[in-house]
Structure formats: C-alpha cells, structure tokens
Structure 1
Amino acid sequence: MKVAVSEALNIAIDAQKNGRISDAERIYLDILLNFPSHPDALHNLGILVLSKGDEQKARNYLSRSIAANPKVKQFWLSYLNLLIDSGNLGKAKEVFSQAEYIGITNDPFVNIRRALGLSGNEMQPTYVTALDSGSLSTKEVAAKVKVHRDTLLRWLRNGSIPEPKRDHRGWRKFSYAELAAIIKFTQIGSSKTDVAIDSGPKQTAKWISL
C-alpha cells in the first residue's frame, strides 16, 4: 500500500502514542529509507528508541534531526535532555553552545532580563516547588490535555508516560511538571519543518510503501 509521506508520519505518530512501538518504528524506518534527512521521522524515532533503552541510536537520530532542521527547538531540547540524563554534561554544554550561537535558546524576555540585570533564577526555588507538587487528578489532567480519561490510562499502562505518585488513598496525583511532559508527549511530531530534504534519487519520492 502506497501512502503519502505526511500520512505515513501521522500513522507512525498515532502508533507511537498508542503503544504500538514496533509499528511506529517500522514506519519511521520506511520514511527514512526514502527520506534519510526527514527531521520529524529522525526526531520521533530517536525518542522511540530511547524509550527502548537504546541510548546510542537515540543520540544518532536526535543529532541528525538537528542537522536536518536546526530551527526546531524541540529537537535541541530532546537531544540536550538525553545528554544531561546520561551524565554527558561536557557534550551537553557543547551542544547548548551551538544552540545558543544560532539563537535557538533566545526567548521574548531575554532582553528584558538583561536590562533588569536578572539571571532568570530569582524565582526558581518557588517555581520548581510548585511544579513538583502533586495536585492534579487523572480526570483533571485528561481534561487539560483534552483526551479521554481512558486514553490517559492507556498511555500509563503502555509506559508511554511515567506513572505519577499516589496519595494515601491510592489515587494518582500528577504534578504540573508531569502535566507539561504529557502535553509535550501529545505534541510529538507536530513541529513543522522548513528546510529542503537532501537531493537524490530517493528524495524525489512523494509516496512510500507500507
């Protein structure tokens, strides 16, 4: 069956979200067979193999996604988080410097912070405490993420999202940081790319076989 690459990507993303990891991986690899520099396929496959514990492959795919489209912040964040979590702080600093050099780390308030002489860390302890506090129920998180409660529970069972802490009654209590991570999970692969794919015989194909 031949499908458009954009449709194949959406099928893979849906499979990944719903725990059909093998299906998602196969489709991402099919896309990359025809489009070796497809940024979203590279990034999403990197996240997928990392969830399987293959850190080396994840580093390869995530770094290639940045090379394919360095304008997407999420690609840098995913790669930096991987490096930091694995304790490779030297490499993380190097990658962050590259991101900073091209301006990807800038935000709308950076000049205001500089003008006020603020480092951005003044409110951090209170902010982090608020983020880490568990106060959202499963129903509340599902409503904020705009998915059915059963969908959220399926993601938890599949291990697609981490299990939160439970209160003394055994009820799940999500922190705001966990809510942010779940929202990011629902947006996986949604970033748009605006760079040309490498030229070559395989790059001209608009369809792939699944």
Structure 2
Amino acid sequence: MHIDIIETLPSLAKLEDNWNGVYDADDEAQIFLSWQWLNGWLSHLQRPWFILAAKAGESADLPYVAFLPLRLQNRIEKSDVVSDLRMAGNFAADYSGIICRPEAENKVIPAFARCIRQMNWARLNLENVRMSERRSRLLLACFPKANFNYTEVGRVNKVDGIDNSLCPYLTLPKDWNSYLESLSANTRQKIRRLLKQVDMPGEYRITVSTPETFAQDLKTLLGFWETKWRPRKGDRIESLVASNGAMLTRSFQSGMLYLPTFWHRDRPVAALATLVDPRKRAFLFYMTGRDETFDGPPSGVILHAFSIRHAIANGFSEYDFLRGNEPYKYSFGCAERKIRCTVLETRNGRNLGGGIDTRSIPEVLQLATELHRKGKSTDAEIGYRRILEVQPKHADALHRLGQLLAAKGDFAAAKRQFRILTTVRPDAAKAWQCLGQVCESLGQHEEALRQHLEFMRLQPDQPDGFVAVARCMAKLGRMAEINAAVLAAIEPASAPSVRKWRDWRPTPDRQTASEHSVSA
C-alpha cells in the first residue's frame, strides 16, 4: 500500500471526485470527513495539517482508496519542543476518523499506522473518533503498549454530568406519521400540539434562513448561545463564537446548513443550526441558542421536531444529535452510539525521532519568538535550535538565535549564527550589521570593520554604518581617518567622502592582519 501526503489546498481540491467516491462507499463516513466540510475547515485552520492518502501502488493513474486527515500542534516545555498529532477536524468536528473503501481497510489502516510511527510526535490524540471496533483494533495494533502509554479519556462533564462520548441519533422512517407512531403517546401528542402552534397563523412562527436573512439569523443564534455559555466558557467564548460563526457561514454557503428560527410575534426567541449531509442523507444537530427570558412553549422541542419533520419530508434517513446524552434527546426516540477518545504517548515524553516535523517550523518559530519577547530565553533557544536541526539555513531562526546568544554574552556562538546568516541572505544588511557588532564584542575590530563596510554598501543612506566604521577605526588606532568617516556620515549619500568610505577596503597588509585575527 502506497501512502502520499496531501498538505496544500490546491492538492486537496484535485481530489474532490476521488474523495467523494471513497466517502460514498464507506458506511462509516460522516459529514466531518466529507471533502466539502474538510476543505472549508482546513482553509481556516492556522496550524499545520496534512492528509494521509492511500492507494494500491505508486502509479499516478491509481485512485486513492482511503484518507486520514491529521494536524500538528506544538508546545515548548520540559526543555524541549513537544508535538501533538491530532485529528484534523478537532476542535470544530464532533466526530473524527478515517474514510476507507471497506474492501481495503485491512491493508490501509495498518499502513496509515506505520506511516504515523515514522513521524515526529510525543502524543497522538485520537479524539472523538467515530470508528468501528474492527478499524480501531487495526489502527491501535501498530502501537504496542510496551512502547506507548495509553489513556482512555472520559468525556463526562463535571458540571452537569453529561457524557459527551455518547451520541444519540434517530434512524428516520419514510414518512412523518410513521415516525410519530414510534414515539410514546405523550410525546407524540406533545409534538403535534407544539407544531400546530407554528403551522397555524398566530403569535408563533418559524422561519428558515435564506441568503437574505442568514447573517441576521446567525447573529441571533450566536448571541443566544454566547449568553448561555459565557459563564462556563470564560475567556474562550469570543474565539468559540468566531470559529463557530465562520464554520457555519461556510456550511451555509455550501448548502450544508439548515437554520430555522422560532419567533414570538416579531421577537426571535430561539434558533437551531443543523449540518446537512446530502451524500449520506443525514441531518446533524450542531448548536442551538434561545432567549433565556422567554417563558412560552419549549422552543428546543419545537425546533427539533420541525427539523426532523423537514428531514423526513426531504428523504433524509438519519437525524444525529451529535455528542452528549442530554435526557431531552432521548424523548425523540433515539438510539445511541459511542465515540472514543484515546491518547497515546511516547514513554519518555519526547518526540519520536527526537526532532520536529518540518511542517511544525512556522508554529515553533512563533512560539519561540513569543517566549523570546517575554524574556524566557532558555525555552526560546530550544525552539530556535530545534528548527535549525531540521532546516539549518532557516534565516529567521538563525537571526533570532544569534540575537539571543549575543544578549546573554555568548558572542562566539552568536557570531557563528550570523556568519551562516550572511551566506543564506547575503543581501540582508541587518545580517552584516549584527555580524559586525558581535565581532566588535569579541574584540575583532578589523573583521568587524569589513562587516560594517558591507552593511554600508547595502544601506548607503543609513548613518549607523558610518558610525560603526568610525568606532572600529578608533579601536584600531586610525585616528587620522576618523574625521573623514564622520564627515561622510553627515554628508549626502552622493558626496565624494561618502563614496570613498562606502568603497573603502583594507590594504593588503591590513587584510593579512585581519585574516590572522580570524584564524586566531
């Protein structure tokens, strides 16, 4: 089995038809693994992501038979960079997993696992995995407990006792009356009575979002949701509202969102967002919000019943309440499925292979730079060095590590970084300036002079170069030449004295002395 790695949106776009074919063939596929949903989510995702794609051989003509979307998340702790490998849909997807043609799973899933074993990570977070026991065994068999620590993570909320690993769902019949007959008499009568209030002209009504009303309907939903959850979510609420809003907007634009709003006269009192999977003929309830001050009919029951009726009328076969075993869900006649949250960790807590994945470089650079700015130089240095282990000529890491080393007085080590940087970016004036400065700190003034002259060549209008040259001249005892250097610093860049100093090079005797100084 041949595994390719897909890591760009244009590459993913080319796979749409192939992906949809696998998705349609796989009974375990669900909306959060659909090409359409993932393409939208990955375009929004900031952290590095990639997709393992399996086919029977290396030929470009062979179609892929399975896909596993993943992403990397990094942190700097315990004197190292530690990488987590997560399912790509977390944290927006209620479910994660693999899509695979059933006849290929016995070969594909072990091949995926072997590929993952070759990557650099300390923790594999298999969160919210909706997968058959058969597929789970095939995947986990490649991670023996002798080599990895296993943790089965519970999803019971400590505040309200809701178990978010249990996912109620309905298998929908062909018609609405058949569905009602499957319910208890009390529930059946209640739903009929409540829907009658919105079906008949009166003070209650339900509208369904259109392109013209969607923005306001979404604002209403998110406003209600934020009010309810702010006390529990705290500082995370703004980012959650923003990410949910972006995901729901993308879904609506793709025809994958059903958003009814319940009204009392001209007052919206509740809204419900349901993801629509036309390929699997499934409705998946994602989120709801209501005006907590409204004391009329139960808006949640009305909106769910309205949505279930709509799904049945349009030929859908499943209504999924997603994660959480809230009692009200079971009143609709639900069965339930269980998802798993398994965390695998390396025994020593370090990344497999000891280094970082090249895809992690932008995030690790950002983490190290933030630590550097906060004065946490030890951890920042670790981040820069891990980057340079896998990409020795990474210009930003070289520059920032050189600055860090110079700041703590390790000028010889800083010089090595800046020297490499000048070969990587020979046209970057700042690199030559930094190299000249650390040479000065080492007392290598002849060599520093050459670096400052190169800086002057690249930045002829900057007075810093003239000042640095004069400073080196003073250290070298060339007092007669300093006046000309000072004059050059205050004259226009086109003046003769400036041209003289910009083009100045050491005499042969001075060049030899300089080379002797470097080798010493």
TM-score (norm 1): 0.48
Q: Which has the higher helix share?
A: 1
Structure scoring higher RCO (CA < 8 A, sep ≥ 6) equals: 1
**Which structure has the larger Rg over C-alpha atoms?**
2
TM-score (norm 2): 0.21
